[in-house]
Structure 1
Amino acid sequence: MEQQATSVIVATRTALSQASALAVQYSFSILGALILLILGWTLAGLVSRWAFEGISRVKGIDETLARFFTNVLRYALLILVFVTVLGQFGVQTASIIATLGAAGLAVGLALQGTLQNIAAGIMLLVLRPFRVGEYIETGSITGTVTEIGLFATEMKTGDGLYRLAPNSTLWNTPITNYSREPLRKFDVTFGVASTQDLELALNTLLDVAKAEPRVEKRPEPQVFVNSLGGTISITLQYWAKTAQWATTSRDMLRRTKQTFDEKGIAIT
């Protein structure tokens, strides 16, 4: 009986000794893991902040794009820190990396359409075929850009409607930007009877254009004959600032009609 009790005591002492050794070992591992987590979290924040400041200084890089790149960098550093912490406890990190890669591939396949929009959004923000406040037209979408996001672009139509366009749709179609260039051309075409004084009509058109202060002097406005016949087609061609193009074109049409009426030139 005494021998059995001695064996129990020895076994208990051995178990306690092993438990205390394990506690010391894992306490150091836990302490090291906590230090790694704190340092990694702090370093990831500092690196992402420095990266954002550096990317923001690059000309033509949108703030949305800069934040996207810095967030990707930050989360990549945090994943690296997490894998390193697991390595402190003897976990096979190679299998974890392989699992993360397989999970990333599965998510990428499941979100293929979304990733296309993100890729298109990045290209739109880098190449900048349009900016916020510009009026654009695609095959099926027309409006003023109000916001460019990573997934979609928000626009406002001419009649005040809200429109949301996926970035992949905008990236895969030709875009006409009506606001990008500082000057824009406008052609005013009229038909006058062949019995009218052609030179008077041409000179009148040119005088109306030269009297309008919003019509650019360079390039100079031009008038020319498009076609002959029972009705003669004549055209006034001029350039105006893009921001004033719409109002100038409407005023020019009204003023031309008034001036033709005053000089007795009939429009057919």
Structure 2
Amino acid sequence: MELNANEALVATQSALAQASRLAVEYSFSIVGALLLLFIGWWLSSLLSRWTHAGLLQVRGIDETLARFFANVVRYGALILVFVTVLGQFGVQTASIIAALGAAGLAIGLALQGTLQNIAAGIMLLVLRPFRVGEYIDTGSISGTIVEIGLFATELKTPDGLYRLAPNSTLWNVPITNFSRLPTRRFELKVGIGYEDDIDLAEKIMREHAEADPRVLKEPALSTHVDQLGDSAVIITMWYWTKATDFWPTSREMIKKVKLSFDENGISIPFPQVTYHGAAPTGEPAPEAPRKA
């Protein structure tokens, strides 16, 4: 009986010693893991702020894009810290990295369309083919830019409608930006009758353009006969204005030219077709009416 008590005491002491050793060993691991988590969290936030501030110093980098890359740096650093902490407890980090890679691939395949929009949004924010407040046209989408996001771009159409366009639809097509350059050329084409005075028509058009203060002196305006149409002689006038004055100037110019042509007897003919009839074969043509 005494022998069994001694064996039990020895076994208990051995178990306590082993538990104490494990507690000391894992306590250091736990303390180290907590320190790594704290330092990693602090460093990830610091790197994120540095990335955000540094990108904002680069010309052409948008605030949205700077925040996106700052978050990428932060969460990338946190993932690295998390894998390092698991390594402190003897976990095989290689298998974790492989699992994360497989999960990333699966997520990427599942969100292929969304990632395509993100990639297009990054390119739009970096290259800046348009900015907020500019009017664009892609052939299928047109409107004034309201906001450029990572996934989609918000526009307002000329008739006051809201339009949301995925970034991939704006990146893969030619874009015409009507607001980017400071000046624009207006082309006014007018058809006059063949019997009308071409020089007078050009003079009237030039006088109206030269009298408008919104028409720029340089580049100089010009007029020329563009073509000889079926029913009219086409006269073209080119002049330049500021982009903001393009629409009001062009609309007023068309009205003034039309009114002046009417006052000076210059016609703007509409398409006409003249048919010449012939008498049937073997029948005499009808005689012209005789004057009394």
1:233 aligns to 2:234 (yes or no):
yes
Q: Which amino acid aligns with 2:263?
A: E
Aligned ranges for residues 183-222 of structure 1 at < 5 Å?
183-222=183-222
Matching residue of 2:67: 67
Matching residue of 2:145: 145
- 8 Å CA contact 2:232, 2:268 repeated in 1: no
Residue deviations 1:52-78 (CA, integer Å, cap 9, x gap): 111110001111111111111111111
Question: Please, which runs of 5 or more residues in structure 1 have no aligned partner?
Answer: none
Between Structure 1 and Structure 2, whose CA radius of gyration is higher? 2
Q: Which amino acid aligns with 1:254?
A: K
Aligned length: 268
- Offset at residue 19 of structure 1 (A): 1.0
Matching residue of 1:19: 19
1:105 aligns to 2:119 (yes or no):
no
Q: Which amino acid aligns with 1:29?
A: S
- Offset at residue 258 of structure 1 (A): 2.6
Matching residue of 1:159: 159
Matching residue of 1:254: 255
More helix as a share of residues: 1
With the length of structure 2 as denominator, give the TM-score of the two structures. Answer: 0.89
- Offset at residue 4 of structure 1 (A): 1.2
Matching residue of 1:119: 119
Query: RMSD in angstroms over aligned alpha carbons?
Result: 1.2
Q: What is the alpha-carbon distance in structure 2 between the residues aligned to residue 201 and residue 168 of structure 1?
A: 48
- Offset at residue 266 of structure 1 (A): 2.8
Q: What is the alpha-carbon distance in structure 1 between the residues aligned to residue 96 and residue 130 of structure 2?
A: 42
- Offset at residue 235 of structure 1 (A): 1.4
Q: What is the alpha-carbon distance in structure 1 between the residues aligned to residue 41 and residue 185 of structure 2?
A: 56
Question: Please, which runs of 5 or more residues in structure 2 have no aligned partner?
Answer: 270-292
Q: What is the alpha-carbon distance in structure 1 between the residues aligned to residue 228 and residue 46 of structure 2?
A: 74
- 8 Å CA contact 2:193, 2:232 repeated in 1: yes
- 8 Å CA contact 2:188, 2:236 repeated in 1: yes
Q: What is the alpha-carbon distance in structure 2 between the residues aligned to residue 163 and residue 128 of structure 1?
A: 19
Q: Which amino acid aligns with 1:209?
A: A
- 8 Å CA contact 2:223, 2:237 repeated in 1: yes
Matching residue of 2:76: 76
- Offset at residue 227 of structure 1 (A): 2.3
Residue deviations 1:71-110 (CA, integer Å, cap 9, x gap): 1111111111111111111111111111111111111111
Q: What is the DSSP-based 3-state SS (H/G/I as helix, E as strand, rest coil) of the residue aligned with 1:195?
A: coil
1:263 aligns to 2:270 (yes or no):
no
